[in-house]
């Protein structure tokens, strides 16, 4: 299993912190990527693992709980994302207004009337003000007691409505749950609202740092914003961009001068569910071959093996053992990389321990 990714794929892998130097902290990695999809809690933590060295899942939990340096909220595309607390404010302001109409429609589909939806938001706000933080099951109990419908996806959309209004975020980790908190209690006084043009410029700059080179359509899809907004943000950065023959946008190196060589892609990495590498652009074709493993199915992105910049198989953990699907013939270097990755995944999730076995199917 050999080969090198295309020059564009290599650049994007480097921007994603999947080649070359890694980040040194949860905050560093999260700031660099700006927003990490997080509806799969383990997947979000594994995204941090793949881009750092020596950290553990407990460090992500610490950032969410004791440090309050990061939060999880419905932001880009109406999907849960892990972001720094300092970035929550302007990202929420920029990416959620267009989502509110859709959530009202979804509540109606779940049998929740507008009046009950408003009552549900008030119940959540009062409950968190008096007894928060509270987990989703705890808030469900409060809503049930108040006679607000929570069956099916109703509870999710009521929580989303309160989130889009800027009332709540997911904050501290409590066991296997992440509790909801009032934004004003958890994050304090909000900063002055960011001017929209400034926010779009900041979005484009931060996006390119972790995803460039990229096109305007890539940014629009990732952020869940109209193409015109993506173009406004990128246009404002014109003086900071390099001239490329492919027409893609890429930030100039700090300090000017020629761009440094792009590091080679790693021989093999284990990436988690919903990894940012598959969610940052309009197309995933650079990293997933047409005849490769089925990584995405019905909107679910499964953990996958990245070999020389291409998805080459699936993996999971079964009874503490990393189990991969068929990977074909591996070189000695790839076998060593797989063993090292498996050991690091288990160390990251469970803490230091003994050697980790790797099982390969096929």
In angstroms, the CA 177 to CA 105 distance is: 28
Would you say 26 and 52 are in contact if contact means Cβ atoms under 8 Å apart? yes
Closest by Cα among 34, 43, 24 to 88: 34
Q: Is the pLDDT of residue 289 over 90?
A: no
> What would the pLDDT profile of 47-97 be if each residue is shown by its tens digit?
999 999 999 999 999 999 999 999 999 999 999 999 999 999 999 999 999
Closest by Cα among 303, 312, 319, 331 to 358: 319
Secondary structure of residue 216 in the 3-state scheme: helix
Nearest 5°: the CA angle 242, 95, 173 is 105
Determine the average pLDDT of the residues in 236-241.
96
Determine the average pLDDT of the residues in 285-295.
89
> Which contiguous run of DSSP H or E holds residue 359?
strand 358-360
Mean pLDDT of the chain: 94
In the prediction, which pLDDT does 100 show?
86
Determine the average pLDDT of the residues in 272-300.
93
Q: How confident is the model at residue 359 (pLDDT cuts 50, 70, 90)?
A: low
Determine the average pLDDT of the residues in 101-130.
96
- Specify the pTM: 0.94
Q: How confident is the model at residue 352 (pLDDT cuts 50, 70, 90)?
A: very low
**83, two tokens:** 């972001």
């Amino acid at each position: 299993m050999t080969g090198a990714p295309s020059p564009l794929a290599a650049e994007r892998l480097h921007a994603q912190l999947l080649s070359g130097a890694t980040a040194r902290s949860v905050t560093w990695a999260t700031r660099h990527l700006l927003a990490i999809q997080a509806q799969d809690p383990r997947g979000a933590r594994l995204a941090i693992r793949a881009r750092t060295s020596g950290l553990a899942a407990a460090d992500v939990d610490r950032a969410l709980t004791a440090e309050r340096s990061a939060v999880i909220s419905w932001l880009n595309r109406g999907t849960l994302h892990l972001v720094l607390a300092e970035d929550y404010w302007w990202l929420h302001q920029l990416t959620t207004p267009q989502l509110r109409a859709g959530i009202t429609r979804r509540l109606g589909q779940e049998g929740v009337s507008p009046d009950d939806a408003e009552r549900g938001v008030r119940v959540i706000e009062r409950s968190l003000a008096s007894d928060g933080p509270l987990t989703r099951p705890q808030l469900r109990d409060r809503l049930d007691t108040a006679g607000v419908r929570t069956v099916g996806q109703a509870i999710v959309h009521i929580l989303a409505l309160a989130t889009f209004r800027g009332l709540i975020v997911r904050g501290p980790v409590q066991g296997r749950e992440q509790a909801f908190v009032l934004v004003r209690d958890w994050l304090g006084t909000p900063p002055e609202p960011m001017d929209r043009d400034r926010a779009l410029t900041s979005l484009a700059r931060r996006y390119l740092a972790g995803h460039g080179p990229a096109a305007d359509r890539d940014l629009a899809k990732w952020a869940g914003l109209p193409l015109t907004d993506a173009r406004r943000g990128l246009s404002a950065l014109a003086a900071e961009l390099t001239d490329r023959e492919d027409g893609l946008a890429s930030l100039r190196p700090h300090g000017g001068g020629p761009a440094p060589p792009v590091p080679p892609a790693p021989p093999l990495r284990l990436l988690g569910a919903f990894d940012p590498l598959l969610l940052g652009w309009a197309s995933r074709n650079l990293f997933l071959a047409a005849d490769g493993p089925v990584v995405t199915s019905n909107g679910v992105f499964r953990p996958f093996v990245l070999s020389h910049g291409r998805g080459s198989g699936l993996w999971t953990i079964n009874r503490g053992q990393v189990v991969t699907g068929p990977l074909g013939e591996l070189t000695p270097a790839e076998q060593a990389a797989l063993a090292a990755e498996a050991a690091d995944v288990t160390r990251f999730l469970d803490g230091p321990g003994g050697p980790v076995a790797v099982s390969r199917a096929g």
